[in-house]
C-alpha cells in the first residue's frame, strides 16, 4: 500500500469511525478504528513518518477526519495539529468534545500518540 492509498484508507476509516460514533454504533466505530490504525501504521512507515499525509488531511471536508489527523500529527507538527484541534472544539456533537479532550490530555503530557 502506498502512502497515498494509505491516506485515502485513513480518511475513509476516520470518517466512518466518526459517523458510527455519532450514531452510537460502537461495533462499527470499533471496526473503523481498527482500519484507521492499520492505515496509520502504513503512513508512519513513510520517510516523514506520515507528516505530509496527515497535514494534507487537516483540510479534509469531514471534521472527524481533521480531528483524527490532527491527533496523529501532534508529535510531528504540534503547531498545525493544535491549531486544527482548537478550531474543531466548536464542532458538534462528539468532534468538539474529542478535540477538547485531545488538547487537554496532550498539554498535560498524558496522551501518547502512535
Say what the pTM is: 0.94
Taken in order 64, 69, 75, 80, the sign of the CA dihedral is: negative
Listed as own residue / partner, the contacts of 101-110 with beta carbons closer than 8 Å and 24 or more positions apart are 102/67, 102/70, 102/71, 102/74, 106/74, 106/82
Choosing among 3.40.50.300, 1.10.490.10, 1.25.40.70, 1.20.5.510, the CATH entry for 3-108 is 1.25.40.70
Output the nine-digit C-alpha cell for 11.
Answer: 480518511
Please state, in angstroms and rounded to a whole number, the distance separating the CA atoms of residues 13 and 15. 5
- Across the 114 residues of the chain, what is the mean pLDDT of every consecutive 10-residue run? 80 97 96 97 93 96 98 98 97 91 97 91
Going from N- to C-terminal start, the domains of the chain cover: 3-108
**Which letter does DSSP use for residue 61 in this model?**
S
Amino acid at each position: 500500500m502506498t502512502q497515498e492509498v494509505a491516506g485515502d484508507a485513513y480518511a475513509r476509516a476516520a470518517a466512518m469511525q466518526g459517523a458510527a460514533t455519532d450514531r452510537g454504533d460502537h461495533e462499527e466505530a470499533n471496526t473503523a478504528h481498527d482500519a484507521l490504525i492499520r492505515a496509520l501504521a502504513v503512513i508512519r512507515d513513510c520517510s516523514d513518518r506520515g507528516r505530509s499525509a496527515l497535514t494534507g488531511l487537516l483540510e479534509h471536508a469531514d471534521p472527524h477526519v481533521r480531528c483524527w489527523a490532527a491527533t496523529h500529527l501532534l508529535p510531528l507538527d504540534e503547531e498545525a495539529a493544535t491549531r486544527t484541534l482548537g478550531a474543531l472544539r466548536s464542532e458538534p456533537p462528539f468532534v468538539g468534545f474529542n478535540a477538547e479532550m485531545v488538547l487537554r490530555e496532550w498539554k498535560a503530557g498524558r496522551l501518547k500518540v502512535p
